[in-house]
Amino acid sequence: MRFAQRSLQPVYAPFLHPKHTTRIQLSRSTPLPAWTRSFHASANWRVVDLAYRLHDNNGNAKGDPIVMIHGLFGSKRNNQSVANAFARILSRPVYAIDTRNHGESPHDKAHNYTALAEDVEAFLQKHNLKNSTLIGHSMGAKTVMTMALRNPDCCANIIPVDNAPVDAALSSDFPKYAEGMQRVEQAKPKSQKEADKILEPYAKDLPVRQFLLTNLFKPEPSAPLKFRIPVQILAKALDDMADFPFTNPDEVRFNKQALFVRGTKSPYVSDETLPIIGRFFPRFELVDIDAGHWVISEKPEEFIKAVVEFLQEKE
């Protein structure tokens, strides 16, 4: 594993789940079968067909694909300039997707990392995307980690951004965001300004409110604004978003390369989680960026530089 030099002191937080604390010794993982699964609906959820936006530098990006997965309450419209930069600099097409219950993708009552992973795995197969780099932020980070551990052959490498493969409580901000968004829907606002005022007590930072309110739309010209995402479903899924479906790195491991990017002002990837990351992802590299949880939007140039350097080294 490789560590970039930190720009701040380590961020310590009590996020390592007790069930991980006794696992210290490394052992050889059980080999996993080749990626030959058929993606059909399970007893508990169905695979949904994901909406996406392709960034391919006007058709000039012909290399191996990059798939970008947003975080909770996000969409494929997030970080478009970053996706365009990757397509241009790396000459690789970038598929920015909407996960289930986000953006223009279908809604479903099941919202957990196994369901999210199966959706994206089906997307890769449908579009015949091979040797992909999977980039995910927050919820998207746990999704790409889940995919890599479920089916290592589904991708060439992964780049999880500001999340770790542990069961860890979400920041208290996310339940507040969900509550505020429900309040907005109940008020049936006619304008973005009105919605912003309702949401302000639940999301103090203007950039966060602007991010959340990108999900608002008008079904009809005279209708009140409403969220295109199913806020109630996502509010009920917050515990699942704090969870991680794998608990034992002695049973599953991703032996390909992985770049973990964390914000030094964020608690989601504390130094205590690094040994667990190293056991699930023994070839991981770590880059720290002087930012909070919203690493990509806060420091896009630094994020682009870290990803480009990582991927160019692999060529």
- The string of pLDDT tens digits covering residues 231-243 is 999 999 999 999 9
Concerning whether 293 is annotated as a catalytic residue, the answer is yes
> Out of 20, 102, 111, 293, which one is annotated catalytic?
293
3-state SS assignment for residue 226: strand
**Quick one: pLDDT at residue 3?**
52
Shared domain for 213 and 133, answered yes or no, is no
Q: Using an 8 Å Cβ cutoff, are 164 and 139 in contact?
A: no
231 with 251, same domain?
A: no
The total of structural domains in the chain comes to 2
Give domain status of residue 32, yes or no.
no
Give me the pLDDT at residue 23, please.
Answer: 25
Decide: residue 206, CB within 10 A, 0-12 exposed, 13-18 middle, 19+ buried: exposed
Q: How far apart are CA 64 and CA 46, in angstroms?
A: 28
- CATH for 269: 3.40.50.1820
Phi, psi of 142, deg, nearest 5: -65, -30
Sequence-ordered list of residues with C-beta below 8 angstroms from that of 265, at least 6 positions apart, any chain: 8, 11, 290, 291, 292
Q: Residue 125: inside a domain, yes or no? A: yes
Model confidence pLDDT, tens digit, residues 99-142: 999 999 999 999 999 999 999 999 999 999 999 999 999 999 99
Q: How far apart are CA 79 and CA 300, in angstroms?
A: 8
Residue 315 pLDDT grade (very low, low, confident, very high; cuts 50, 70, 90): low
What backbone phi and psi angles, to 5 degrees, belong to 261?
Answer: -115, 125
Highest mean pLDDT among 35-44, 54-63, 169-178: 54-63
Q: Which pair of tokens denotes residue 80?
A: 């478009």
Q: What is the mean pLDDT of residues 91-95?
A: 98
pLDDT at residue 17 greater than cutoff 60: no
Q: Residue for token digits 């099941």? A: 110
Pick the more confident residue, 171 or 67: 67
CA angle 129/152/170 to nearest 5° reads 95
Query: Which pairing describes strands 258-263 and 284-289: parallel, antiparallel, or unpaired?
Result: parallel
Q: Kindly tell me if the per-residue pLDDT of 19 is higher than 60.
A: no
**Residue carrying the six token digits 């008020």:** 187
Q: Which domain holds residue 302?
A: 2-19+38-168+244-313
CB atoms within 10 A of CB 166: 24
For the ranges 12-16, 35-39, 258-262, the one whose mean pLDDT is highest: 258-262
pLDDT of residue 18: 33
Q: Would you say 108 and 81 are in contact if contact means Cβ atoms under 8 Å apart?
A: no
Which one of the listed residues 29, 105, 138, 266 is annotated catalytic? 138
**Per-residue pLDDT tens digits for 281-312:** 999 999 999 999 999 999 999 999 999 999 99
The set of residues, in sequence order, having a beta carbon less than 8 Å from that of 207 and lying 6+ positions away, is 294, 297
Q: Is the pLDDT of residue 167 over 70?
A: yes
Does residue 309 fall inside a structural domain?
yes
Q: Residue 135, Cα to own-chain centre: how many angstroms?
A: 7
Domain shared by 265 and 229, yes or no: no
- Tell whether 91 is covered by a domain: yes
